[in-house]
Amino acid sequence: MTKVRYILTTLFLCLAWCTHAQVSFTVQAPASVAMGEQFRVSFTLKDANGAEFKAPAMSDFEVLFGPATATSSFSSISNGKTTLSRSITYTYTLMPKSVGTFQIGPASIRANDRDYKTKQVSIKVLPADKKSSKNTKSSSSSSRVDAGSLFVRTIINKTKVYEQEAILVTYKLYTLHPNLQFEQVKFPEYEGFISQDVEDNAEKQYSLESYEGRNYQTAVLKQSLLFPQKSGKLTIPSGNFRVVVAVRREIDDIDDFFVLQPYENVRRTLTTNPVTIDVAPLPEPKPQGFDGAVGNYRISASFNDRQAKTNEALTLKLVINGSGNIKLMGDPKVRFPDSFEQYDSKAESSLRISTSGADGQRTIEYYVVPRQTGKFTIPAISIPYFDPVSRSYKTASTQDFTIQVAKGKGESATMSGSGSDAVKMLGQDIRYLKPLTSSSSPSSFAFSAAYWGIYLFLLLLALLLLFLYRRRMKMIADEAGMRWRKANKVAVKRLRRAAEYKQSGRGDLFYEEVLRAVWGYLGDKLGIAVSELNKNNIAERLAQAGHVPETLIEELMQLIETCEFARYAPESNEHAAMDSVYERVCSIIEQIDSTKTLKR
């Protein structure tokens, strides 16, 4: 009975393995090696019995040994299900023949009546270390860790850029002592830049790299995109890193031979090299409507309904796709007809920050309510931007939109038609008036005191409306004045939205909205263009006015730096920190607004 049970169990497990196993054939090889070093290349077949293994040609390398064949198997139980896995590995030991980059083609094998192939791999062969093997061994076993064996570099992909053009900055560790840990990491703060960290979910791993004649184990610590906010020579300051390195003790005499700890910890503080970047101003003249967009963009727009009705909401969805400072650009202006009542727009950005730049899209929804019937044309929406590749201004535009507005439900809509239609409507209205009786004839009312009172009232009302209309037109023409008057309202709206993000625990959006509120408020109040909006200009303008305390300006600068850092910090979702920032920004705006500096 026991024997039968064993056979059935074995058959069941084999059936489970055959049913659920997924066959794979992969290759493992180092990305880089040094001349004179041996290395291994392994080809592994998982969850299948292989036959007819064919290794690729490896003529660029000397085959020291192989193939060595090894098999392994294991089982696991999860949620009551048993999973069996097995693998067979073919390993070659190689040595490079010359310096350069070489390819190892795919290997092939036959399994389960199918042919499987590995991917082609590339191996970079570096020159041998200039240090002799004897010196290298002595250095690695010494407790002394000098600057040449352990350091961090700041690497940038460009030294000359335009304003708002992205710069990739990389912080890379170079070491001859791979057994180390970081005690403290302090990346530099960027003055004159807005930074966005590169998304990297991969685990940090060492790779071999030749630098100034020596081969180091290197690891990328952090990568960021920097967008310069002003022209001139801007400097990325030094960063500081405190590390602990485990190095082997030297055994000099018989006493040291009995030391229980063969390694000792050596602490070092590493400082990166400062880097200067030459930022050129954007060329003049700038096109009309330019709002600081730099990169390469496409734009599209659509209405939710081309057959609109009066007194019913209509949504215009504008989508901007491309690469560049898309997250920093302003919302394009849309010229809706005067009879369209506009409401606050809503904008969202979806970006992917990578080593190739910031790519993604920005979606803006404009909400309007038409109040008149008729056929209306909305002019094309345009976004002028500067292309740093061609070093010229370009414009992304939509087509004109034609909207047919019909009469909707609810209140009567104002008619926009021909004169005869208006007369017809007037005639219909007159038919509903109650006829005059003999007791209310015009002769008893004309030129009476009531008549002249109403006449004077209507005349004054007409003059008042004319005055208000002209004042309104003048205010619209004065764009700077319009921005100044609406600054508080726009800031309050953005802070309310930031409060919503705070309540929902979305820290990145909260800090982004707070920054938009602060930048927008100060830019509108001080009359600073978006392309020139940066901390230095703000601080300079507030200081020149002489009515804003210096301590308040410093607090404002600290708040901006806090928000810029917190947008990408892991702890940015902490409610206590967001509450503190929200209270500070409200207090700072209130204090600045109460000074004589911003009175108009």
* Residue spans per domain, the chain: 2-126, 133-280, 295-406, 479-598
Does domain 295-406 fall into CATH 2.60.40.1510?
yes
CB contact at 8 A, 545 and 528:
no
Do the beta carbons of residue 539 and residue 557 sit within 8 Å? Answer: yes
pLDDT exceeds cutoff 80 at 159: yes
**Tell me, what's the pLDDT at 246?**
80
Domain 479-598 has CATH 1.20.120: yes
**Is 126's pLDDT higher than 70?**
yes
Token duo for residue 147: 């600057």
- Tell me: pLDDT of 3 over 60: no
Contact criterion met (CB below 8 Å) for 125 and 162: no
pTM: 0.56
Mean pLDDT (whole number) for 184-194: 87
Is the pLDDT at 63 greater than 60, yes or no?
yes
* 32: confidence class by pLDDT, cuts 50, 70, 90: confident
Domain 133-280: assigned CATH number:
2.60.40
pLDDT value at 309 more than 50: yes
Mean pLDDT across the stretch 11-36? 69
Per-residue pLDDT at 434: 40
Sorting pLDDT into bands at 50, 70 and 90, what band is 172? Answer: very high
Residue-level pLDDT at 162: 93
Residue 128 CA to residue 484 CA, distance in Å, equals 66
Secondary structure of 306-317 in the HEC alphabet?
CEEECCCCEEEE
Cβ neighbours around 571 below 10 Å, total: 8
The reply to whether 479-598 shares the fold of 295-406 is: no
Phi then psi for residue 562, to 5 deg, are -60, -45
Query: pLDDT band at 531, cuts 50/70/90?
Result: low
Phi, psi for 81 (deg, rounded to 5): -105, 135
At position 313, the amino acid (one-letter code) is: A
User: For the chain, how big is the Rg over CA atoms in Å?
Assistant: 36
Of 247, 244, 329, 241, which is closest to residue 292 (Cα–Cα)? 329
Report DSSP state, residue 410: S
Q: What pLDDT score was predicted for residue 356? A: 85
Q: Is the pLDDT of residue 76 over 90?
A: no
CB 234 within 8 A of CB 207: no
Give pairs for 556-559: CB < 8 Å, separation 24+: 556/518, 556/588, 556/592, 559/518, 559/584, 559/585, 559/588
| Residue 221 host element (H or E) | strand 214-228
pLDDT at 134 over 60: no
pLDDT(410) > 70:
no
Higher model confidence: residue 510 or residue 435? 510
| Greatest mean pLDDT range, 50-59, 205-214, 374-383 | 374-383
Confidence at residue 412, expressed as pLDDT on a 0 to 100 scale:
44
Residue 174's pLDDT band (boundaries 50, 70, 90)? very high
User: Has residue 196 got a pLDDT over 70?
Assistant: yes
Per-residue pLDDT for 417 more than 50?
no
* Whole-angstrom distance, CA of residue 266 vs CA of residue 580: 40
* 138 Cβ neighbours under 8 A, 6+ residues apart: none
Q: How many CB atoms lie within 10 A of CB 439?
A: 6
Whether the per-residue pLDDT at 297 is higher than 90: the answer is yes
What pLDDT, on the 0 to 100 scale, is given for residue 298?
A: 93
Give the Cα separation of 27 and 18 in Å (integer): 23
Q: Is 484's pLDDT higher than 70?
A: no
Determine the pLDDT at residue 251: 58
CATH 2.60.40.10 for domain 2-126: yes
Rounded distance between C-alpha atoms, residue 346 and residue 348, angstroms? 7
Spatial distance between the Cα atoms of 394 and 61, rounded to a whole number of angstroms: 51
Q: Are 158 and 357 in contact (CB under 8 A)?
A: no
Name every residue whose Cβ is closer than 8 Å to that of residue 133 and which is 6 or more positions away in sequence.
none
Closest of 277, 295, 233, 192 to residue 564, by C-alpha:
192
Tokens matching residue 538: 């703000």
What is the 8-class DSSP label of residue 216?
Answer: E
Say yes or no to pLDDT of 332 above 50. yes
CB 148 within 8 A of CB 210: no
Q: At 148, which amino acid appears?
A: G
Q: Is it the case that residue 414 has pLDDT exceeding 60?
A: no
What is the reported pLDDT for 573? 59
Lowest-pLDDT range of 173-187, 232-246, 461-475, 496-510: 461-475
**3-state SS assignment for residue 446:** coil
Lowest mean pLDDT among 86-95, 255-264, 332-341, 523-532: 255-264
Instruction: Report the mean per-residue pLDDT for the chain.
Output: 78
Return the pLDDT at 139: 45
Integer Cα distance of 290 and 292 in angstroms: 6
CB 219 within 8 A of CB 172: yes
Tokens of 160: 């000359």
Phi-psi region of 14 (alpha: psi -120 to 50; beta: other; left: phi over 0): alpha
Residues 489-501 have a mean pLDDT of 86
Q: Is the pLDDT of residue 161 over 90?
A: yes
Answer yes or no: is pLDDT of 415 > 50: no
Most confident region among 183-197, 551-565, 573-587 by mean pLDDT: 183-197
How sure is the predictor about 178, in pLDDT bands with cuts at 50, 70 and 90?
Answer: confident
Q: Please report where in the chains the tokens 């917190």 appear, as a residue.
A: 566
CA atoms of 407 and 307, how far apart (whole Å): 11
SS3 assignment, position 241: strand
pLDDT over threshold 80, residue 564: no
Reduce the DSSP state of residue 319 to 3 states and report it.
Answer: strand
